[in-house]
Amino acid sequence: MLEIKDISKSYSKKIALKTLSLNINKGEIFGLLGPNGAGKTTLIRIINQIITPDEGVILFNNEPLSKIHLKHIGYLPEERGLYKNMTVESHAILLGELRGLSKTKIKENLSYWLKKFNIEDWAHKRIEELSKGMAQKIQFICTVLHEPELLILDEPFSGFDPINVKLIRAELLRMKAEGKTIILSSHNMESVEEICDRVALINEATKIIDGKITTIKTEMKKAEFLVKFSGSLIGLINSLWTGYELVQKKSIDENHHEVVLKMRHGNQIENLFETIKNEVKIEAIVEKLPTLQEIFIDLVESKNEQND
């Protein structure tokens, strides 16, 4: 769907992107991650042709990206913007016509989405009458109104309560099932981990890593195991030797506990089992994969340390 080849962009002496390359497949949800100032927004603005790159090329369905492709792209920016004096319907008509829709089709699609969100009576409300959360819904609806092939969402869950986050997430998964392609830029790692197929992490204008979430988590695992057991917590700790590091501990009640142990000196799960089996009653030993947030922090901090 989208092939980004060696994109670079600078503002005066500030490098915003440096030879960045990504492939985003049709029908997937792709997470674009990075700390503030990493270059994510610059890339999104280049895709939307708000700004042009200094170097590189972007292909949209194997064609050089141009203005004619904008009608196939929906963009929800982080900085929300609605015309407060307009009604919801008039605002939708304005944006829909800019994307090439007829007024009849706009009203039809708007009616569908207002019903979907159970807000049919909002059509003739003025934007200034809406709460922040209500306005967020309208912004989202206006973004998807023209049924874009590629949907780019910058912090789409910002300002939503948990119920509406769940609703938006369900709609994104439905669109994906219909073959839509979604780029999701967010600091909400939990939501990214739940719905994204692949992710890329950008830091200081360069790509650090990209790939399937499951693959990245496997590659970044730290030989840590979660052990659930009954018996003496002190007894288990005392049974450990230098081949293990106690990462964390948690007591469920007086007799049931959980610990996370990191393997040292090439120890494997069978070594751990042999070490503790006579001290406690083992209920479960599970390999602990890092969360996306833990990976994000580790990679960014490692990159920053290399630059110091």
What percentage of the chain carries pLDDT values higher than 70?
A: 98
Q: Are strands 281-288 and 224-230 parallel, antiparallel or unpaired?
A: antiparallel
* Domain presence at residue 60: yes
Domain that holds residue 25: 2-218
pLDDT at residue 148 is higher than 90: yes
Q: Is the alpha carbon torsion for 47, 52, 57, 59 positive or negative? A: positive
The tokens describing 71, both together, are 């009608």
65 contacts 59 by C-beta, under 8 angstroms? yes
133 or 227, which is more confident: 227
Which range, 108-112, 116-120, 297-301, is most confident? 108-112
The number of folded domains in the chain is 2
pLDDT at 305: 63
Q: Report pLDDT digits (tens) over 28-51.
A: 999 998 888 888 999 999 999 999
Q: Give 296's contacts (C-beta < 8 A, 6+ positions apart).
A: 33, 189, 201
- One domain for residues 158 and 170: yes
- One domain for residues 144 and 257: no
CA angle 143, 56, 188 (to 5 degrees): 40
* Domain presence at residue 284: yes
pLDDT at 72: 92
Cα-flanking dihedrals φ and ψ of residue 105, to 5°?
-65, -35
Element (H, E) at 271: helix 269-276
User: Among the residues of 30-87, which ranges form H helices?
Assistant: 40-47
- One domain for residues 82 and 231: no
For residues 244 and 241, what is the distance between their CA atoms, to the nearest angstrom?
A: 6
C-alpha to C-alpha distances, 228 to 97, 106, 127, 272, 277, nearest whole angstrom? 59, 56, 53, 13, 12
- One domain for residues 37 and 92: yes
pLDDT at residue 304 is higher than 70: no
pLDDT at residue 111 is higher than 60: yes
- The residue length of the chain stands at 308
- The reported pTM is 0.84
DSSP designation for 38: S
User: What mean pLDDT is reported for the chain?
Assistant: 89
The tokens describing 128, both together, are 């200034």
- One domain for residues 204 and 234: no
pLDDT at 257: 95
Q: At what angle do helices 132-144 and 88-98 cross, to 10 degrees?
A: 30
- One domain for residues 19 and 119: yes
